[in-house]
Amino acid sequence: MIDEVSPEELMRLERIYIMPCVKKLVPAVFVEGKGAILKDVYGREYIDAYAGVAVINTGHCHPELVKAVAEQASKLIHSSTLYYTYPPVILAKKLSDIAPMDRGKPKKTFFCNSGGEAVEGAYFLAKKYTGKFEIITLQRSFHGRSLAAMSLTGQVRWKLKAGPSMPGVHFAPSYYCYRCPLNHKEGPPKCDYACAHYLREIFNTQTTGQVAAFIAEPILGNGGAVVAPPEYFKIVKEILDEHDVLFICDEIQTGFGRTGKMFAIEHYGVEPDIVTLAKAIAGGLPMGAFIAKSHIAEALIPGEHFSTFGGNLVSCMAAIANLEILKKENLIENAARVGGFLLKRFREMMDAHKIIGDVRGKGLMIGVELVKDRESKKPAKDEAERVILQALKRGVLVGIGGVEGNVLRVKPPLVITMEQAEKVAEALDGAITAVEKEMFS
Ligand X SMILES: Cc1ncc(COP(=O)(O)O)c(C=O)c1O
Query: Alpha-carbon distance 98 to 107, whole Å?
Result: 10
> Looking at beta carbons only, is 191 or 228 nearer to ligand X?
228
Looking at the Cβ atoms of 251 and 436, the one nearer to ligand X is: 251
Could you count the other beta carbons within 10 Å of the beta carbon of residue 130? 18
Least Cβ distance, residue 265 to ligand X (angstroms): 12
Other C-beta atoms lying within 10 Å of the C-beta of residue 189: 10
Number of CB atoms found within 10 A of residue 433's CB: 14
> Given the DSSP bridges, would you call strands 37-40 and 45-48 parallel, antiparallel or unpaired?
antiparallel
Per DSSP, 266 falls in state G
Give the chain's length: 441
**Closest-CB residue for ligand X?**
115
Nearest-angstrom CA–CA distance, 269 and 22: 37
**148: Cβ–Cβ under 8 A, 6 or more apart, which residues?**
119, 120, 123, 166
Would you say 144 or 224 has its CB closer to ligand X?
Answer: 144
Closest contact distance (angstroms) between CB of 306 and ligand X is: 18
Distance between CA 394 and CA 411 in Å, rounded? 17
- To ligand X, the closest distance from the beta carbon of 226 in angstroms equals 12
Q: Find the shortest distance in angstroms from Cβ 51 to ligand X.
A: 12
Considering beta carbons, is residue 287 or 392 the nearer one to ligand X? 287
The answer to whether the CB of 65 falls within 8 A of the CB of 287 is: no
**Residue with Cβ nearer ligand X (277 or 336):** 277
Q: Which is nearer to ligand X, 114 or 420 (CB)?
A: 114
- Closer residue to ligand X, CB minimum distance, 33 or 116: 116
Closest separation in Å from C-beta 269 to ligand X: 21
Spatial distance between the Cα atoms of 193 and 186, rounded to a whole number of angstroms = 10
CA angle 172, 267, 189 (to 5 degrees): 60
> Peptide bond preceding 412: is omega within 30 degrees of 0, i.e. cis?
no
Distance of CA 439 to the CA centre of its chain: 31
376-390 as b/e: b if 16+ CB within 10 A: ebebbbebbbbbbeb
Quick one: 275 or 435, whose CB is closer to ligand X? 275
Distance of closest approach, residue 111 Cβ to ligand X, in angstroms: 13
Tell me how far, at minimum, the Cβ of 136 lies from ligand X, in Å: 16
- In this structure, the strands spanning 246-250 and 211-216 are parallel
If phi over 0 gives left and psi between -120 and 50 gives alpha, with beta otherwise, what is residue 260?
left
Q: How far is the CB of 254 from ligand X (least distance, A)?
A: 7
The H or E element containing residue 357 is strand 356-362
DSSP 8-state code for residue 78: -
CB closer to ligand X, 258 vs 423? 258
Query: Rounded CA gap, 390 and 343, in Å?
Result: 20
Residues at the interface with ligand X (CB under 6 A): 53, 114-116, 119, 142-144, 217, 221-222, 250, 252-253, 278
Query: Smallest gap, in angstroms, from Cβ of residue 137 to ligand X?
Result: 11
Taking the complex as a whole, the smallest distance from the CB of residue 113 to ligand X amounts, in Å, to 8
- HSE, CB side, 13 Å, CA atoms: give it for residue 290: 30
From the CB of 146, what's the least distance to ligand X, in Å? 7
Residue 114 CA to residue 101 CA, distance in Å, equals 22
DSSP-based helix, strand, coil % in the chain, nearest 5? 40, 20, 40
Q: Give me Rg for the CA atoms of the chain.
A: 22
CB 234 within 8 A of CB 188: no
Q: Minimal distance in Å, beta carbon 116 to ligand X?
A: 3
